[in-house]
Amino acid sequence: MDTKNREHVDAAIVAGEGIGGAAAGAAGAAIGSFVGPIGTLIGGLAGVVGGWWAGKSAIEASHRYTNDDDRYYRDNFESSSTRLADRSFDQVRSAYQLGHMAGLNPDYRDREWESVEPELQKGWTNDLRAKNGEWSAVSSHVRDAYTRSRAAATGSTIARAIDQPRSSA
């Protein structure tokens, strides 16, 4: 095969992989939507990333996102100096939920944020972008929740320090 034809074949393969990944993410998100908003996040990742996200354990772990977690992340968001003024917590809640769930993923236990972020970004589907913003606008919230949840899952003393009430000074 000549070079020109090979370039067309390579381009077609890359395009097909992108479409396939998007379709898998959409299919996974649709399946997850039966479990609610967190299920949609998990479903999107199941379709794109697979592994733990595609298993029963991920759905079971979704129940470990509690009202206390939601209050903590809301307080964290509202007191953040980097928060965008035109965003409400309700618009970024999914980002915190994604990070929280990722921190519970045993496949990520020994992985730092920089190594899991690309996988999580793949699961930030077009639907999530439309509702909650581009990855660049929400990734810091995902990272914060990942750090907190992962520390709590490993029983780290850092988790207890993270959860200490902020001083009002």
What does pTM read for this prediction? 0.68
- CA-CA distance, 93 to 96, in Å (whole number)? 5
Q: How many domains does the chain have?
A: 1
Could you tell me the CA-to-CA distances from 144 to 21, 32, 60, 80, 139 in Å, in that order?
Answer: 26, 24, 22, 11, 9
What pLDDT, on the 0 to 100 scale, is given for residue 51? Answer: 73
What pLDDT, on the 0 to 100 scale, is given for residue 160? Answer: 45
What pLDDT, on the 0 to 100 scale, is given for residue 36? Answer: 55
Range of the domain at 101: 3-162
Q: Is residue 168 a part of any domain in this protein?
A: no
Sequence-separated (6 or more) residues with CB below 8 Å from residue 164: none
Burial of 78 (0-12, 13-18, 19+ CB in 10 A): exposed
- CA-CA distance, 114 to 124, in Å (whole number)? 16
Spans of the chain, pLDDT less than 50: 2-35, 158-162, 164-169
CA angle 42, 43, 48 (to 5 degrees): 100
What pLDDT, on the 0 to 100 scale, is given for residue 37? Answer: 59
Q: Is residue 167 a part of any domain in this protein?
A: no
Q: Is residue 13 a part of any domain in this protein?
A: yes
Please report, in angstroms and rounded to a whole number, the separation of the first and last CA atoms in the chain: 70
Record the tokens describing residue 110, joined without a space. 């020994």
- CA-CA distance, 40 to 154, in Å (whole number)? 26
Q: Is residue 169 a part of any domain in this protein?
A: no
What pLDDT, on the 0 to 100 scale, is given for residue 41? Answer: 74
Q: Is residue 113 a part of any domain in this protein?
A: yes
